[in-house]
Amino acid sequence: MTITEEHIWQILKEVPDPEVPVLNLLDLGIIRDVKFNEEEIEVIVTPTYSGCPATSMINMAIKMKLIERGFNNIKITNQLSPAWTTDWMTEEGKQKLKAYGIAPPVYSKNSDELFSKTDEVECPLCGSKQTHLVSQFGSTACKALYQCDDCREPFDYFKCH
């Protein structure tokens, strides 16, 4: 069987995010490139932020998945510039977040600014836009904690950046 770069991308699609397991690394948009030749596979990863504690777990999961598929010469390169942005997430990934109970990132329709008003974050549980910020810090550093004023349930919001 001839191995192609596309084949490597399909394998990487099977690697889940360790913090939000319904997302794979391609949904998250952190795999920037794959360089493939007969001697080595290099995977370029941009972490969600430079201090992300899951980075080493992600790198190991990539290596383990590729080793499981018979590849042994693997190089993982962490690329911090340009910085990761939620713009790189797939629409499918954002829908998976919502179905999982995490509000996906939301952008202002009137400018390039990120939403700062708390009433614009939709509750992933009931769909209400009547929500409020409880804490800028949620279950992980990339999420904020909100509560819905209608169903009263707390939920994480995946912060824009």
Residue ending a domain, choose from 22, 51, 85: 85
Mean pLDDT of the chain: 89
pLDDT in tens, 54-104: 999 999 999 999 999 999 999 999 999 999 999 999 999 999 999 999 999
Residue, of 106 and 116, whose pLDDT is higher: 106
Say if 135 falls within a structural domain: yes
Q: What are the pLDDT digits (tens) for 36-46? A: 877 899 999 99
Same domain, 14 and 70: yes
Shared domain check, 134 and 67: no
Are the C-beta atoms of 61 and 76 separated by less than 8 Å? no
Q: Please report, for the domain that includes residue 57, its CATH number.
A: 3.30.300.130
Token pair in block for residue 154: 């707390």
Q: Quick one: DSSP state of residue 107?
A: B
86: its two tokens: 């939620």
Contact between 44 and 33 (Cβ < 8 Å): yes
Question: Is the bond preceding residue 21 a cis peptide, omega within 30 degrees?
Answer: no
From 29, 54, 85, give the residue that closes a domain: 85
Q: Are strands 102-103 and 41-45 parallel, antiparallel or unpaired?
A: unpaired
Its domain, for residue 111, covers: 101-158
Q: Is 54 helix (H, G, I), strand (E, B) or coil?
A: coil
Is the pLDDT at 110 greater than 50? The verdict is: no
Give me the number of domains the chain comprises.
2
Q: pTM (2 decimals)? A: 0.84
Long-range contacts of 139-144 (CB under 8 A, 24+ apart): 140/19, 141/49, 141/51, 141/52, 142/19, 142/48, 142/49, 142/52, 143/102
Residue 28: inside a domain, yes or no?
yes
